[in-house]
Amino acid sequence: MSPLNKKLLRNIHELKVQLLAIVLVMAAGISFFIILFGVIDSLHLTKSTYYERYQFANVFASLKRAPNSVRYRIESIEGVSAIETRVVFGVTLQMPNMNEPASGKIISYDENQLLNNLYLHAGRWLFPKEEEAV
């Protein structure tokens, strides 16, 4: 063994605590890097699964007073696989437990809709010809 290698081993032995700290910091950094990419992949998978399961639209367009013929022109665009029209308007709601009025959005609902399916977390679905429901 050469004298330089002996000196190197002696220095490593003298600095073993510092060397251990460096190795642990590097291991923590590599672990963080691996976990970060795992989380990113998981988020992408969750998003694509949600979009697929509930048929979430990729593009939205707002029009005012557009004739139904516009729907067929949009359907003819290459890459458009489905299109649905809705009536949407904003409302102001007076809530008893709020100091200021709440703003809301009313969106028409079609029982046979293909896009943007709803996820019911609590409560019940709306029923046709129901007078009032919030």
Burial environment of residue 115 by CB neighbours within 10 A (0 to 12, 13 to 18, 19 or more): middle
- Of 55, 118, 107, the closest CA to residue 81 belongs to 55
pTM for this model (two decimals): 0.56
- Structural domain boundaries enclosing 23: 3-53
pLDDT tens-place string over residues 5-29: 999 889 888 888 999 999 999 999 9
The answer to whether residue 33 sits within a structural domain is yes
Q: What integer is the mean pLDDT of 36-42?
A: 98
Quick one: pLDDT at residue 133? Answer: 64
Asked if 43 and 76 sit in the same domain, the reply is no
The answer to whether residue 43 sits within a structural domain is yes
